[in-house]
Amino acid sequence: MAITLINPAGLVEVDAYHQVAIAGGSKLVFVAGQVSWDADGVTVGPGDLAAQVEQCYLNVGTALAAAGASFEDVAKLNVHVVDWTPDKMPLLMEGITRAAARLGGAPVPPATLLGVAALDVPEHLVEIEATAVLD
């Protein structure tokens, strides 16, 4: 495996992700921001942040698989949430948990959570992008 995830001493340990990813591979995979569209371009879970997070993770998983990668190869995630407030964290975590159950594991690489004013389509509440490293 090309990625080693760690939580260094001296940094807070966060349950949702690791603080550092050490990449030892030679092939980079960049996954464009994924929204909650299904394969037909229909938004999954309008108005439901947890459902949209789940679909975004599933879409990232599909994109990774097409490149011969999986969440085990992800070095970094960026999560963009419309009108983010801390009270939305349980819904975000619910969506991640549901996606992890369907994907067969918890995607917990380093991650950045950004609140944004809007995304490409008004009904989209979240967009997730990934960078993976392969041997």
| Beta sheet of 27-34, edge-to-edge order | 27-34, 126-134, 74-82, 111-116
Q: Rounded to whole angstroms, how far apart are CA atoms 62 and 3?
A: 19
Is the pLDDT confidence value at 1 over 70?
no
What confidence score (pLDDT) does residue 14 get?
87
Mean pLDDT of 80-89: 98
Decide if 17 contacts 112 (C-beta within 8 A). Answer: no
pLDDT for residue 4: 93
Q: Is the dihedral of CA 28, 110, 104, 115 positive or negative?
A: negative
- The number of beta carbons lying within 10 Å of the beta carbon of residue 51 is 20
> With bands split at pLDDT 50, 70 and 90, how would you rate the model's confidence at 58?
very high
Flag whether pLDDT at 67 surpasses 90. yes
Most confident of 23-27, 77-81, 106-110: 77-81
Return the pLDDT at 108: 82
In whole numbers, what is the pLDDT of the chain averaged over residues?
94
Biggest CA pair distance of the chain:
46
Q: What is the pLDDT, as a whole number, of residue 132?
A: 95
pLDDT of 124 > 70? The answer is yes
